[in-house]
Amino acid sequence: MKLTLKVWRQAGPKDKGQFETYQLDNASLDMTFLELMDALNEKLIAEGKDPVAFEHDCREGICGSCAMMVNGRPHGPGQEITTCQLNMKAFKDGETITVEPWRTNSFPVIKDLVVDRSSFEKIMEAGGFVNVEVGSAVDSNTYKVSKARADEAFDAAACIGCGACVAACKNSSAMLFVAAKVSQYALLPQGKTEGVQRAWNMLAKMDELGFGSCSNTGSCEAECPKGVSLSHIARLNREFIKAGFRKAGAEKL
Amino acid sequence: MTNFFTTSIGRKILMSVTGLFLIMFLLVHLTVNSMILFDGTGDLFNRAAHFMATTPLIKVVEPLLAIGLLAHFLIASLITFQNQRNRNVTYGAFGRYEARNASQGSTWASRNMYILGTVIIVFLVIHLINFFWKMKFTGDPLLSEVIINGEHMENAYALVTGLFINWKWSVALYVVGAIALGLHLYHGVWSAFQTLGWSNKKWRKILNVIGVLFSTLLALGYAIIPLYVMIRSMI
């Protein structure tokens, strides 16, 4: 199949950046979208041009690296997929495909389609961890967790930190990401040590890093490759309100 | 230390609480207005309006409403401004995507709450000039006193119906106001509960149904009254 690719090119963080249009004649329906990008880069290298920088790692939908906006949707058309899982069958012969990086102040562009997502790392450092005793492992079944709770926690833990929620959000809010991380621990006994302090710290960090606030539009949930639910945002709100009340009563949570 | 009400969630909670408070007012207001539909002589509506204007409770509720509405609007302005600023990066116009399929999973109303709110505010100013201002301060010949069951009161019914009968365009304006309000509540009702954390996978469906029913009821209710008055005057 023949395709026209309109790709965002930006030499570095300070560069203004612009779209470049490329023609690809050797695309195949059996390719994934990343393989199409590989084919484009091979062509560019053969022509002596600078290949398009894009992130990729596992190519099986679990690492969250392949961040790109394809035809205006994070990870392209399709439900609950990453770009590496996006098949060329989703496109028509002769189509023009627009490829852009995530666009928000909190994810500055490093080069072309590669953005700096270390703001997510900073949010994790603020509370995305559990305090556990080192030494020998505890006996299995020491912690009792109901099936319903375990399932809900697993739904949250499925978050791969790709940033599609931020890219999809009109406010570029990271609420779904923070909610997934807070929910995962709030539902399990292992997370009780940090308690509601986690929600407070992670949200305060999210605000500090310039992410927007939540309008409950649901765009994030629709574009999340792991189908993380908006109900986790409601849980984050509950945890945060609890933290607010405790803070009002005492300095330490 | 970060203050609760300066955080993104804290601000949204203020939006949610003020919004729910304003919704309660809307319900009371519609209940009083609906008296126009049930009594062509206007006595029922006049008595209800008279009660609302003279009950001691109104002295407390009226300033609270003004503060609630002002807070709802000002915090919304602040949040919207900040959220826009975060998008304003070095790419294309306003940092928007070149290709954007914004309809994914979200409703138009949910993405345009601020625009809908602004339409409602503009409508509200006109609405206050039409009725509240005249009844409270300047007076109007239509408002001349009526006596119902031996009690003297203003003829609010004549003022309200007079507007819709004498100035047909006002009916269109009031219908537009009702539609904007309906769309605002279509997202606002469920969103208020979600922000307060009163939602989960099961309750989200219930809240969505409540939101749709409630917003439809209010939009229809507020739109029907001017239409009814106008149509009745023409037949």
Which of A88, A110, A132 is a domain's end point? A110
| Cα-based torsion angle of the residue sequence A25, A30, A34, A37 in order, rounded to the nearest 10 degrees | -10
**Is-contact B222 B160, C-beta < 8 A?**
no
**Is-contact B121 A238, C-beta < 8 A?**
no
pLDDT (tens digit per residue) in A145-171: 999 999 999 999 999 999 999 999 989
B101, B195, B198: residue with CB nearest A71: B101
Give me the CATH number covering residue A59: 3.10.20.30
Cβ contact (<8 Å) for B106 and A217?
Answer: yes
pLDDT exceeding 70 applies to what percent of chain A?
98
The per-residue pLDDT for B93 is 42
Cβ-Cβ contacts under 8 Å, B199 against chain A: 230-231, 234
Q: Based on the domain organization, do A156 and A245 belong to the same domain?
A: yes
- The three-state secondary structure class of A127 is helix
For the cut 60, the answer to whether the pLDDT of residue A55 exceeds it is: yes
Give the type of residue at B213.
L
Cβ-Cβ contacts under 8 Å, B191 against chain A: 215-216
Cβ contact (<8 Å) for B9 and A216?
Answer: no
Instruction: Provide the shortest C-alpha distance from residue B199 to chain A (in Å).
Output: 6
Q: Count chain A–chain B contacts defined by CB atoms under 8 A.
A: 155
Structure tokens at B157: 């019914």
Name the residue with tokens 């986690």: A198
pLDDT (tens digit per residue) in B161-212: 999 999 889 999 999 999 999 999 999 999 999 999 999 999 999 999 999 9
Domains of chain B: 7-84+110-234 (1.20.1300.10)
Q: Based on the domain organization, do A149 and A34 belong to the same domain?
A: no
Q: Based on the domain organization, do A74 and A127 belong to the same domain?
A: no
The per-residue pLDDT for B94 is 44
**Is-contact B192 B144, C-beta < 8 A?**
no
Q: Based on the domain organization, do A240 and A142 belong to the same domain?
A: yes
Higher pLDDT, B146 or A46: A46
Global pTM reads: 0.93
Q: Based on the domain organization, do A31 and A75 belong to the same domain?
A: yes
Q: Based on the domain organization, do A173 and A71 belong to the same domain?
A: no
Give the type of residue at A160.
I
Which of A110, A132, A155 is a domain's end point? A110
Interface of B with A in 160-219 (CB under 8 A): 187, 190-191, 194-201, 204
Cβ-Cβ contacts under 8 Å, B1 against chain A: 247
Instruction: Provide the shortest C-alpha distance from residue B113 to chain A (in Å).
Output: 9
- Which long-range CB contacts under 8 A does A247-251 form with residues at least 24 apart? A247/A200, A247/B1, A247/B4, A248/B4
Give me the CATH number covering residue A226: 1.10.1060.10
Segments forming the whole domain that contains residue A187? 118-249
Q: Based on the domain organization, do A76 and A187 belong to the same domain?
A: no
Cβ contact (<8 Å) for B197 and A19?
Answer: no
Nearest to A55 by CA among A211, A133, A163: A163
Cβ-Cβ contacts under 8 Å, B13 against chain A: 237, 241
Sorting pLDDT into bands at 50, 70 and 90, what band is B152?
Answer: confident
Q: Based on the domain organization, do A169 and A57 belong to the same domain?
A: no
Structure tokens at B94: 């306003």
Cross-strand bridge partners of residue B151: B148
Which of A110, A141, A169 is a domain's end point? A110
